[in-house]
Amino acid sequence: MAAPARKSVEFFYDVLSPYTWLAFEVMCRYQQKWNIDLKLRPFFLSGIMQGADNRPPGMVPAKATYMGQDLKRLTDMYQVPFNMPSNPAEVMFIKGSINAGRFLTAVDMNCDQYLEELTRQLFLRIYYRDEDITEPASLMAAAAKAGIPEDLTKQLLSTLKDQAVKDRLRQTTQAALDHGAFGSPTIVAHIDGKAQMFFGSDRLELMAHMLGEKWYGPLPELAKAKM
């Protein structure tokens, strides 16, 4: 009997979103375990908020307070080394992620073998070491940790204002909006010819159910070792 066809799962994300880091790490843990092709698709969360007429939950003071506690508990459970930056409002609402989004897009367009590790390194910068992700030197440092050769990084950084890169980031953002996105992470699983959209790091169990895959929790390796 032929093996069942692999299902494709698109992971739309912006590294400015701390919940997205959780979902990203869990999806990376599961990508070899499940019969899926995981496609990382960097988008621009501000564009999503605008396009969906939404606003970041962190702008509502009670939600911001709750999110701080929620993320602390969740990141412990998910084993993701999260630290809230010293000035989260500056990081999220002033500095933003346009350069990081364009850099991830350029990497996706030219050398996507580095995309997963570069994404992780950018998350580590903002949400572990409280470091900048907007300046070219910051992107250089993340790229070096992700193993991208220095000359290639310089060349990619020189394309951040190119129309092709801007258009691609805009198109990816629009593609997510077309699937009904209103925040990050937005995950689109293509199941039996139908695109199913899931929002949030807390919908992965549901997505596994829809995919017909087994869910072992956020730490599948540990769960396996215990069995």
Ligand X SMILES: N[C@@H](CCC(=O)N[C@@H](CS)C(=O)NCC(=O)O)C(=O)O
The set of long-range contacts for 174-179, using a CB threshold of 8 Å and a minimum separation of 24, is 174/51, 175/12, 175/41, 175/43, 176/12, 176/41, 176/43, 176/48, 177/47, 177/48, 177/51, 177/52, 179/12
Q: Does 172 bind ligand X (CB under 6 A)?
A: no
Rounded Cα gap, residues 139 and 207, in angstroms = 32
Tokens of 218: 């956020």
**Of 13, 19, 44, 114, which lies in the binding site for ligand X, with binding defined by CB under 6 A?**
19
Known catalytic membership, residue 201: no
Compute the least distance from the CB of residue 29 to ligand X, in Å.
16
Q: Does 215 bind ligand X (CB under 6 A)?
A: no
Question: Which listed residue (8, 17, 86, 97) is catalytic?
Answer: 17
**Of 50, 54, 87, 171, which lies in the binding site for ligand X, with binding defined by CB under 6 A?**
54
Q: Which stretch binds ligand X (CB under 6 A): 81-89, 119-127, 156-164, 195-203?
A: 195-203
Compute the least distance from the CB of residue 84 to ligand X, in Å.
12
Tokens of 27: 């999806």
Q: Does 182 bind ligand X (CB under 6 A)?
A: yes
Residue showing tokens 């070491």: 129
Whose CA is closest to 181, among 88, 57, 51, 56? 51
Q: Whose Cβ is closer to ligand X: residue 49's or residue 148's?
A: 49
The residues assigned a catalytic role are 17
